[in-house]
Amino acid sequence: MNADAGRLSPASRLRRSTLAFAAVSIVALLVAPFFLYPVFLMSVLCFALFACAFNLLIGYVGLLSFGHATFFGGAAYITAHAVKVWGWEPLSGILLGAVGAGVLGVIVGALAIRRQGIYFAMITLALGQMFAFICLQVPFTHGEDGIQGVPRGHLLGLIDLSGPLAMYYVTLAIFLIGFFAIWRIVHSPFGNILKAIRENERRAISLGYRVDRYKLGAFVMSASLAGLAGGTKAIVFQFATLTDVQWQMSGEVILMTLLGGIGTLVGPVVGAGLVIALQNYLAASDFPVTVLIGIIFVICVLLFRRGIAGEAMAFLRRRAAG
């Protein structure tokens, strides 16, 4: 029944090479902690998931949120508080963070999706600033200090997460589940409608779609997944601080997604890896990291309009065609 590769249709050939790529990536991620610093890898995975969640909105619905730190940081606070103060088990703490971020997503989304383009971005930014201010003022976040010394605890009461390897594999599992969820949403009947709305919103309305509901749905999904990343981050690094909710964090996730490639599934992962790697390896040097990231950003915008992953995929597609 199985035809040789030469006779497969382009679609099934693409599917086959995607599966091969996914398999190689997962194996690489499984062995990575034996070659690279696990904390660095976990940091990359958390931010990669955050960027993928952000990309779900910008890349597949065409909505530029300038306040995604609210969901990432909000979840980090919720998880940290649940685990440290209430003594919750870490996984349920992370899930509570994701649910909390989803609730915040309903509130922010319901207000923001009524406007389009730059106005949407401005509303999300304004609400993000308000949320950061609330986090500075309310007692449970401990203001400037943040929530420090969050215990990693035992996963489901069984697996001790204090060791880096155990924590790494849990983080990897969460990342893969989140990534798979996004992949599923993008390639679902719902995802199809999202793409149609991105392409031509008025036309989608004239076909009877209540586009606000679809946009809000996507917004809440994106917020919850960003929360999943933020909650995991709070357990990995054992703290939640104002850094996670401030606008710079919203800017960073935009940068990661743009660098990697908007509207590609792996792009945000590549972008997050690049930015975190630069921040890590240059932290000790005298050269200011932000300047270097700025230069790379400018080069990418000028040379690779579609981002690193976007350009790479376009190159492969051209080679396959030619």
DSSP state of 4: P
Q: Is 241 left (phi over 0), alpha (psi -120 to 50) or beta?
A: beta
Instruction: Report the residue number, 123 or 204, with the smaller CB distance to another protein.
Output: 204
Binding site for another protein (CB under 8 A): 184-185, 187-193, 195-196, 199-200, 202-211, 214, 217, 221
Cβ atoms 172, 38 nearer than 8 A: no
Cβ within 8 Å of residue 244, ≥6 positions away: 69, 72, 73, 76, 77, 230, 233
What would the two tokens of residue 185 be? 């949403």
Residue with tokens 């940068």: 255
Q: How far is the CB of 62 from another protein (least distance, A)?
A: 11
**Strand, coil or helix: 106:** helix
Instruction: Report the residue number, 175 or 214, with the smaller CB distance to another protein.
Output: 214
Q: How far is the CB of 6 from another protein (least distance, A)?
A: 20
Q: What is the dihedral of CA 248, 250, 252, 253, to 10 degrees?
A: 170
Instruction: Report the residue number, 191 or 268, with the smaller CB distance to another protein.
Output: 191
Q: How far is the CB of 201 from another protein (least distance, A)?
A: 10
E strands in 150-300: 154-155, 159-160
Instruction: Report the residue number, 205 or 291, with the smaller CB distance to another protein.
Output: 205
Q: How many CB atoms lie within 10 A of CB 304?
A: 18
Instruction: Report the residue number, 14 or 30, with the smaller CB distance to another protein.
Output: 14
Instruction: Report the residue number, 133 or 180, with the smaller CB distance to another protein.
Output: 180
Instruction: Report the residue number, 203 or 295, with the smaller CB distance to another protein.
Output: 203
Q: How far is the CB of 247 from another protein (least distance, A)?
A: 29
Rounded to whole angstroms, the maximal C-alpha distance in the chain is: 66
What would the two tokens of residue 45 be? 């995975």
CA 308 to CA 108: how far, in whole Å? 31
**Strand, coil or helix: 320:** helix
